[in-house]
Amino acid sequence: MFVDIANIHLKAGNGGNGAVSFRREKYVAAGGPDGGDGGKGGDIIFQVDSNLSTLADFRYKRKYCAENGEDGKTRHCAGKKAPDLLIKVPRGTVVKEQETGRIIADLSDDQPVVIAKGGNGGWGNQHFSNATRQIPRFAKNGNPGEEIDVTLELKLLADVGLIGFPNVGKSTFLSIVSDAKPNIANYHFTTLTPVLGVIRMGEGSSFVMADIPGLIEGASEGIGLGHEFLRHVDRCRLLVHVIDISGSEGRDPIDDFEKINAELAAFSEELTTRPQVVVGNKCDLCEEEDVAKYAEYFENKGYKFFPAMAAIAEGTADVINYVAAELAKLPAIKVYEPEPKPQLDLTSNKKRTFSIRVCEDVYFVEDAPWIMDVMNQVDPDDYESLQYFERVMRQTGIIDALRQAGVQEGDTVSVYDVEFEFMD
C-alpha cells in the first residue's frame, strides 16, 4: 500500500527529578546535601531509511513516546539519561507541525534530525546550598519533554516528472527509458502509485524520473487520483508532458495539455514556472501533417516538442538526451528549509496553565510546558529578548501569581532552566 501522508503524535521524554539527600557517613560532620541531578529525557529523532518508500507504517502506529530520564540519586549521582527514540522515514519526507503547517524538517539527506527534544533533568538539592541555606530540603523537578502533533508528507525526490492524462503512454515511456517496471495496460488508471525510474546517461551520470499517475481535470479539487499525487510534482526540476497526438480516445491533445497545466497552477502557482518538454506520443496513429501542426503549436508557445512512439522506442532517446542537457543547467532538487517557531501569541484567549511551588524562599514556576518554547527563544544577552520574556511573564499572569504566593524583591524565581532574582 502506498501512503504518502500521515498524522502522528510525538512525546519526548521528561527529565528526571533532582534528588533530596544528605551525607550521613559515620565520622563526617555536617556532611551537607548530596542529592544528584535527574537524567535527561529521550529525544525523538527522525532519520532517512533508503529501504522505505511509503509512510504505511504510520497508519497503524500513531503515537510515539520516548522514555523519561531517571531521577537523581544520593552521593551526587546523577540519574541515567534516557535513550533517544529513532524513527525511520522514507527519503523526501517533510515533517510539518499539524496545527500551523510550519515546516519542521525536510528529510532529504542522511543527517538525523531532532523533532522533539527531551526535557533536561532537574537539579538535586546540592545546587541550592549557600551561606544562608545550608540544609536545602528541596530539589528541582525535571523539565517536560516536547509534545507535538505532526504531519508527515512524502514528496518524491525526482529530477523529472512525467505528467499527462491517463492512457497517453507515460508508463510505457518510463519503462523504455529507465529500469522501472510499471504496470502497463490499455485502460485508465493502470498506474495507481508514483513510479520512480533511474535513467543512466553513462558512467557517473544519471537522473531520476517519476511517473505521476492519475492527473485529470479537477485533480486539484480531489477528482481522480491526481489530488493525492500532485505533491510529488513539487520537487521536480523539469516536467515531461506526454500527450496522445493521435486523439485515439476522442480527446483533443491541445485541450488535454491546457487542462493539465491548469490543474498544476491550481495546486501551486510555482509549478507553472517549471520548464516543460512536450512529447507527442502515438504519432504513428496520425498523419504527418497533424504531427507538424502540433509541433508548430507547442514550439510557438515556447515548448520543446518531440514526436515519439514510446512502444517501439522511437524518438525516446532524443527526449532523454535533451532532458539530461537541460537538467545540467537547472538548480538542484528543492529542499524545504525549516521554519522558526513563532513567538507566543499574547493576545490569544487560550488559557496558559501553570503552578507556583515555594520551597525555602525559592519560587518554582511549574506545570507550564507551553513556556518551554518561550525559554528556548530567550537570549539572556539580548535586551529585547529579555523584554519579551518579561512581557510573557506579566501577560500570562505568572508575575501576579508570584506576588500572591508572597514573593519579595530579591527572592529567587526558577522557571525551568532559568533562575533570576525577583525585581518589583
CATH of 344-424, one of 1.10.132.10, 3.40.190.10, 3.40.50.2300, 3.30.300.350: 3.30.300.350
C-alpha distance from residue 319 to each of 176, 204, 246, 283 (Å)? 12, 20, 19, 15
What are the average pLDDT values for consecutive 10-residue runs of the chain, which has 424 residues? 80 92 74 88 94 85 94 90 94 91 92 93 85 80 91 86 84 81 49 72 80 60 53 84 84 87 82 88 84 90 90 88 91 86 71 84 84 77 82 87 88 83 80
1-157, CATH topology level: Spo0b-associated Gtp-binding Protein; Chain: A, (2.70.210)
H-helix or E-strand containing 72?
A: none
Q: Specify the pLDDT at position 141.
A: 87
Q: Specify the pLDDT at position 1.
A: 46
Torsion angle defined by CA atoms of residues 171, 173, 177 and 182, in that order, rounded to the nearest 10 degrees? 10
| 209 phi and psi angles, rounded to 5 deg | -120, 140
Closest to 14 measured CA to CA, from 97, 128, 148, 122: 122
Grid-cell match 523537578, residue found: 141
Q: Specify the pLDDT at position 29.
A: 62
CATH superfamily of 161-327: P-loop containing nucleotide triphosphate hydrolases (3.40.50.300)
Cβ-proximal residues to 420 (8 Å cutoff; 6+ apart), any chain: 412, 413
Q: Specify the pLDDT at position 84.
A: 96
Same fold, 161-327 and 344-424: no
- Which residues is 364 bridged to in the sheet? 357, 414
Q: Which three cell numbers stand for residue 286?
A: 496520425
Domain spans, the chain? 1-157, 161-327, 344-424
pTM of the prediction?
0.76
Q: Specify the pLDDT at position 189.
A: 46
